[in-house]
Amino acid sequence: MDYLPHEDLLLCSQCVGDNVLYTYKNSFTGGRSKLDMFIVSESLAGNVSDYFAIHEDDNLSDHSPIVMNIKLNVQYSLSEEKAFIKKVSWKKADEIDILAYEQTHIVQTT
C-alpha cells in the first residue's frame, strides 16, 4: 500500500475513522483480519460519510460485505433530444422490408 500517497489515494478508513474491526473471519481458527477495503482519491475523501462492515449470521462467505456511503453534488443538464433513426429489425423484416433496404443500399451477394 506504499503506492497510495504517490497516487493521491487514501484508504476509506482514513477518511471517516476506522469503524471496521474485521472483514474476514476464518471459521476454523476464529482468526479475524481486515482484507477488504475501499480506496478513494484525495479529492473525494471529504465526501465519504460512512464506512462499515456488515457482520450477519446468514452470510455464507468468510468475507463480510463492506459499505461506503459517499455524498456527491451532481450537476446535470438536459441535452438536446436526438432524432430517432428508423432501423430495420431483421427478426421482423418481411420481403417488402428487405426489398426496400436493397433498393436504398448497395447489397453484395455471393
> HSE of 28 in the Cβ direction (CA atoms, 13 Å)?
0
Q: Give the pLDDT confidence of 5-62 residue by residue, as tens digits.
A: 889 999 988 888 888 888 899 889 989 998 898 999 999 999 999 999 988 888 888 9
For residue 76, tell me if it sits in a domain: no
Contacts of 70 (CB under 8 A, 6+ apart): 40, 44, 47, 48, 49
The number of domains in the chain is 1
| Residue at 89 is within a domain | no
Q: Kindly give the residue spans of alpha helices, DSSP state H, lying in 5-108.
A: 13-16, 42-45, 95-104
78 falls within a domain: no
Residue with cell 448497395: 106
Per-residue pLDDT band at 108 (split at 50, 70, 90):
low
Residue range 56-72: average pLDDT? Answer: 89
Q: What is the pTM of this model?
A: 0.59
Say if 86 falls within a structural domain. no
